[in-house]
Structures are given as C-alpha cells and as structure tokens.
Structure 1
C-alpha cells in the first residue's frame, strides 16, 4: 500500500490501549484531542464508538472514518485544541459549511467525497493544567495563588531561598530556572507567571522567567517602577526589546481594585483575556479590551555589564552581612536609607556600600566614581 503523502508521519489506524495512552500523555503534559463517532448514517466506514487521538502536531491515531472524514476531523480537532473547547462535528454531503472558529461548539462540514453517508464526531480536547508561577511573599501574591488554584490552575509559589523554610511547599527562587527547564515543552508553552514580590527580588525572578519559558511575564508594579526594572534587566542581562517586551506591567485589568483579593481578580482576569485572544487570533479585539504595550526604555549605556559584576548584582545572598543591630546606611545612588544587614551590597576600594535594590547597585557598579563624587 502506498503511503498517503499528506498524512503526518506517525498516523496509525489503531490505538493499542486507549486508557494507557491517555495516562501516558497526561504524565508527559501533552495536549491531545479524543475524537469519538457518536452517530452515523450509512454508507460510512466508521462505526458508533470508534475513536481516534489527534495530537497537537496533527498526528492521528485510531479510526473515525475514511480519507475525507479523517482530514475533516483532523482539521476540526486542531481548532478545538486551539480554543480548548469541546465541539460536535457533523459531516454531511452537500451541506453549507459553517464558519471555522476556535470556540465553536457545533460545526457542520460538507463531505465533498463520493460518499453519501453522514456522521457526527465529538471532539474533546484534553489539555495539561495551566501552570501559574506566582513570585513573592506579599498579600497579593498569596491571593493570586489562592484564586488561581480555585480556577484549576497548577500553582507554583516562588520565594527567595531564605523565605522557603517557613513555607516548605514553595519553590526556591534559586531553583526556578532549573524547575522550568525540566518541564516538557508542551507544559512550558502553557506557563503563565506573575511577579508580585513588590521590589524585593523582581529583577532576579523576571530574568529567570524570561530565560526559561517563552510566554509573557506579568509584573505587579507602577509604570515608573516597571521602567526601572526593564532598564536594570537591559543593563545586567543583555535582554533586547523582544524579551523586555514580554514583561507586562502593570499587570491586571483596570477594575479599580484596592484590596489584595481584588488585585488578584484583576490579574487573573487579564490572564484569561490573554489566553482567549491567543486562542482566537482572528477575532478582532475591541479597543476597550486592548492593553497598551508597556514602553521599552533604551538604556543610556547599552554596553553589557561584565559577567563578574552581573553575578554580584543578581546574587540574592547578603554579602558582608553586619550584625542585626548594625543600624542603617545610605544608598549612594538614590539616597534612600537602607536597614542593615542589607540584601544588596557591593565592595569598592575596600568599602562596603549598601543599596535598596538591584537597579541602584547596577548603576553604582557601572560607574562608582559618579556616585562617590561630592555634589
């Protein structure tokens, strides 16, 4: 038998053991559509109850009809997978076709082959649960994680390494890149993330997220603070406009939120909106729904920071820690009073300086003389 040149490699007309196949795909975090013939009118080759699996790459296992029906089911299954919504597909000779849409629940498709029979095929997309990475030990971060779990998301709470002992189920920030990189590609594609540490370790978390997964990263921050974070990342990590453009800030729809739970609602509402827009790229989005893209600032000095300085700035450990009662110091860049021991410090000419954030530390290390000159 001559292979069909249009059939994706790996197509088969049988499924050895459907329950085991589905369990294995779930463990892999793969997305798949289960197609089941639910009605037929002869002459058609499929029988009621016949099943097939359609994978995200179009590969098909099982049997739900002949060549024409098979390709119709394949196309409709990929649309159902895109929209994440089950649909009933009626395959009818001579029927007027329905418009294709990722969110259609019932679709009629004309059978243009010689067959005179009809069939109905139910398509059920099985998607791995979305993984939501929530960074921070703030009230808003806790509220986002709690509401996301109620929505069925798989949630990772990410905390600074020294905060984890108090919350053993949390993911240490230092292990985040490795944990994300270890996920199957299908799961990494469904990662969503919100950084809500509110200045404590925003830059470190965003760098890890931008490097380890391909999706936008939400940042809970004011526009001015978000611009500073982008500038710091550009200075320290060499990120270009494409990567920095994935940082969405301020994250969340403008619903007038005030309490942590209201802010969580606005953040999760934006994630739902983004998912729907992504699944239906042809749907025009009303102007009122469109979130303006955050501006990407151009660093005054685009030269990359040496790797040794980068390691110093992005290190979350407290360098040269003083005793707990050591008092305070003044950040030489912004003039803010910093309580000692400071999280962000740097040595220059035998003196240890303390900083309020990685942004100030990065500026100092690039040009210490600028900030140590009187006036």
Structure 2
C-alpha cells in the first residue's frame, strides 16, 4: 500500500498521524526529495525518509507534533547533538547521519474533534448544524463510545439522560453536557449513581452564559464552551527518542 493510499485509510478511520515529506536532500543521503513516511500515535513509522538516524529524529519530532496538532519543517544535519527552534523550523544535529543534510516537512493530520449529540429536538438539530459549520465531526450518540470521543451533549429533554450521563462519565469522556434548566439539571445529577467528583464534571446548563435563547444560540454557547476548554482525547505517550551511536 502506498503512503498516500494509507493516508486515505487513516483519515477515514479517524486515526491521527504525521505525514513526513522530504523536500530537500544534500548528498550523501539515502533519502530523495519526494520520499514520504507516516508517523502513527504509537511511534510506528511507515514509508521511507532516510536511514535509522533520520527515522529516529522524524519519529520523536512527529510524536511531539501529534500532541500539539502543529506542523513544521525539520532540518537534520550531521552536527553534534543539538536542537534549535525558530518559527516554522526545527534544526537538529544528529552526528550519526551519513554526512548530508535533510529537510523534511512534518504535517500533523489530526481529525476534527468528535462530538456525539443525543436528542431529536430543535436544539439537538442545531448542535449538529452549528458543530459541522465550526469544523467538528458531529454524530448521533452510539454504543460503545469511540476512544477519541471529545464531547457528549445530551439534548433529549428528559429521554434516556441518566444512563447516558453515567456511561459517559465512567468512560472518561472529556466534556459531558446536559441541556436543561439549572433546577432540572441539579435534580438529574442528584439521581445519578456516581461520585460527587463525577457529577461535578457535568456541564448543566450546558454552554457559556451568553444570553442564548434560540436553539442555534444555545448550540453556539455550547461549542464556545468546548472551544474554551480545549477537551482532547488522550494520545498514547510518546516513546523516548532513539539515539544512534
């Protein structure tokens, strides 16, 4: 499978990755401009951007970018171990490089944040429309929750709220919101078979207090709260960088 074909597969499966593309190579190097590789969240690399020394450097910096969601140009030189960071450029000295210099563009491909919405009323429909317009991946709540679920918003006006809230909190979903009045939300939370710490994680009334009245305004206030809190699913911890000798 080619790297670009694999990119399509990873995107459809909502798997984050870094696409590394060699844009410049000074001899002697084994890599050529246009060579590509993928860095996956577990540190696996697919493709080719140079030998073991270049690969270890690309892997360690690719994992950093997966955590930040940013992209950068990576320059690897056959100098003594060092690292210099300027805007858009990281220069790394790797003395075990074969003698040439490589410039590799590392592009972080992080899928849009996944949001589940439970409900079938005007507010639930607005949550889908506003969420999609703001770049979120919004879907109906499903069982089981995906590992990369960032938020569950319940806007079902009393239907199946408690079981979903308990399940989401026990699963550690980063953001859990309940669309309800403050009084009804308090009553729902009191009925849950959960710890006080877990109950405190529920946002109810969901959303920032912006004076929202219409379904679209309520949806906007909820996504504003999501953006402000930056909830993210956990990535596997990066492996320590390899060092060539």
Residues 46, 64 of structure 1: 8 Å contact kept = yes
Q: How many residues are matched?
A: 231
Q: Which has the higher contact order (CA 8 A, sep 6+)?
A: 2
Q: Deviations over 1:125-147 (max 9, x none)?
A: 33344332112233322211111
Match of 1:249 in 2: 204
Is 119-128 or 56-65 further displaced after alignment? Answer: 119-128
Compared with structure 1, are the counterparts of its residues 36 and 267 closer, same or farther at alpha carbon in structure 2 (3 Å cutoff)? same
* Long gaps (5+) in structure 1: 1-15, 100-104, 159-175, 182-186, 280-375
Residues 3, 37 of structure 2: 8 Å contact kept = no
Structure 1 residue ranges (4+ consecutive) displaced by more than 6 angstroms after TM superposition: 276-279
Q: State the secondary structure of the residue aligned to 2:85.
A: coil
Match of 2:90 in 1: 108
Shift of 1:55: 0.8
Compared with structure 1, are the counterparts of its residues 258 and 90 closer, same or farther at alpha carbon in structure 2 (3 Å cutoff)? farther
| 1:203 and 2:186 correspond | no
* Long gaps (5+) in structure 2: 235-245
Match of 1:260 in 2: 215
Shift of 1:34: 1.4
Residues 33, 53 of structure 1: 8 Å contact kept = yes
Shift of 1:268: 1.0
Counterparts of 1:250 and 1:91 in 2: how far apart (Å)? Answer: 51
Counterparts of 2:215 and 2:95 in 1: how far apart (Å)? Answer: 58
Match of 1:117 in 2: 100
Compared with structure 1, are the counterparts of its residues 259 and 214 closer, same or farther at alpha carbon in structure 2 (3 Å cutoff)? closer
Q: TM-score, normalised by structure 1?
A: 0.54
Counterparts of 1:213 and 1:125 in 2: how far apart (Å)? Answer: 25
Q: 2:113 aligns with which of 127, 130, 141?
A: 130
| 1:18 and 2:16 correspond | no
Question: Which structure has the bigger radius of gyration?
Answer: 1
Counterparts of 2:200 and 2:85 in 1: how far apart (Å)? Answer: 37
Q: 2:139 aligns with which of 156, 159, 164?
A: 156
Residues 132, 154 of structure 1: 8 Å contact kept = yes
Q: Deviations over 1:234-260 (max 9, x none)?
A: 2xxxx2345434323332233333332
Once superposed, what is the RMSD of the aligned Cα atoms?
3.0
Matches within 5 A, 1:158-237: 176-177=142-143, 180-181=144-145, 187-211=146-170, 214-234=173-193
Q: TM-score, normalised by structure 2?
A: 0.78
| 1:269 and 2:224 correspond | yes
Q: State the secondary structure of the residue aligned to 1:38.
A: strand
Match of 2:239 in 1: none
Q: Deviations over 1:278-329 (max 9, x none)?
A: 79xxxxxxxxxxxxxxxxxxxxxxxxxxxxxxxxxxxxxxxxxxxxxxxxxx
Compared with structure 1, are the counterparts of its residues 222 and 75 closer, same or farther at alpha carbon in structure 2 (3 Å cutoff)? farther
